[in-house]
Structure 1
Amino acid sequence: MDEALTEPEIVILGADHMQAAAGIRRVALWQRLPWLADLHTPEEEEQYWRMHLLPNCTILGAAIGIRLVGVIAYGDDWIEQLYVLPDFQGMGIGSLLLDSAKDEMDEIRLWTFQRNIGARAFYERHGFTAEEETDGLDNEEKEPDVLYHWRRLPEPALGLQPSGA
């Protein structure tokens, strides 16, 4: 079956998926942002997903067939991780994952690097606004970053006619 023709399925990820989730992050991040320092081994990254993200976040994956091609970790009004394998970007997979988080939260914040122009454009297309830029001294990569924020708009009130009108 041609992966490009198959609709991705959004699935809840568990402990058995953390190595694959960490691997997606690693491939997507380093292919798109090769200038970033590689600070952690694949094993350390998997441990972070397993020991920090899994107990504290909802983690969803986008699967095409049996292949995991995208991942999101979110909770408490934050997106902690959102990555799609480079060969599968531009196919709506990131939007599906983001929409899953937006369905569950009324407000979301997230950080991305200032130089990650693709991610910034993606979030802005999805209604996020830049709220703060930093010099990067507070993140482990020491890379200038930007805080994005999204808030659900209130539902419009129904225009009910008074009775007898």
Structure 2
Amino acid sequence: MAISFRRANAADASEVATVYIASRRGAAAYLPTVGTDEEIRAFVIHQMVPERETWVAEDDGRMVAVLTLHGDEVDQFYVAPGEQRRGVGDAMLAHAKRLRPGGLQLWAFQRNAPARRFYEARGFIAKKFTDGATNMEREADVLYEWTP
């Protein structure tokens, strides 16, 4: 496995959307659907990729993960379902830490135990728990922070 990272561009947006949708369906199937696949695809193509610092991880030319930064926050982070538990997420998160050496923060759903274990094992500390009233899914979440 030779993972490489690069900024996503407009030509990548459709594939970024495919990874995003497939990952949300798999790992976060318990979440209420927020928008149709077409609406999510439009959001990724017209807003997320052009307006946010979106990175892709590739393995032998295949897009295997997507990570979007907004300031020092990991705004979106998805590993393609068939690529999970192979070190892709670890490599992508390490890339984000190199990009933001002063620290990072991110939100995770409280019910997403695998994601929470993943972040905690990589030095993220839970700082704030909410009932989800302020997120689109209305799902209880937790704010994590990483400081070097």
Mapped contact 2:126–2:145 kept (Cα < 8 A): yes
Deviation at residue 143 of structure 1 after TM alignment: 0.8
How many residue pairs get aligned? The number is 147
Partner of 1:81: 76
SS at match of 1:138: coil
Q: Which runs of 5+ in 1 are unaligned?
A: 1-5, 153-165
* Runs (4+) off by over 4 Å: none
Between the two structures, name the one with larger relative contact order (CA 8 Å, sep ≥ 6). Answer: 2
Aligned-residue offset at 1:7 = 1.8
Contact 1:56 1:75 in 2 (8 A): no
The structure with the larger Rg is 1
Partner amino acid, structure 2, of 1:143? E
Q: Which residue of 1 aligns with 2:86?
A: 91
Counterpart CA distance in 2 for 1:75 and 1:137 is 21
Deviations 1:69-118 (A, max 9, x none): 11111131100111101211111111111111111211211111001111
Letter in 2 for 1:10: F
Identity score, percent:
32
1:123 equivalent in structure 2: 119
Residues in 2 aligned to 1:15 and 1:55: alpha-carbon distance in whole angstroms:
7
1:107 and 1:150 in contact (8 A); partners too: yes
Give the C-alpha shift of residue 121 in structure 1: 0.7
Match of 1:135 in 2: 131
2:14 is aligned, of 14, 19, 34, to 19
The corresponding residue for 1:155 is none
Match of 2:104 in 1: 108
User: CA-atom RMSD, angstroms?
Assistant: 1.5
Does 76-85 or 60-69 show the bigger shift? 60-69
1:97 alignment partner AA: M
Task: Tell me whether 121-130 or 34-43 shows the greater mean CA deviation.
Answer: 34-43
Q: Which moved more, 1:50-59 or 1:103-112?
A: 50-59
Cα drift, residue 27 of structure 1: 1.1
Structure 2 residue runs of 5 or longer lacking an equivalent are none
Q: Which moved more, 1:123-132 or 1:54-63?
A: 54-63
Report SS of the residue matched to 1:80: strand
Q: Do 2:17 and 2:45's aligned partners in 1 also have CA atoms closer than 8 Å?
A: no
The structural deviation recorded for 1:40 is 1.3
Residue 65 of structure 2: which of 67, 70, 85 is its match? 70
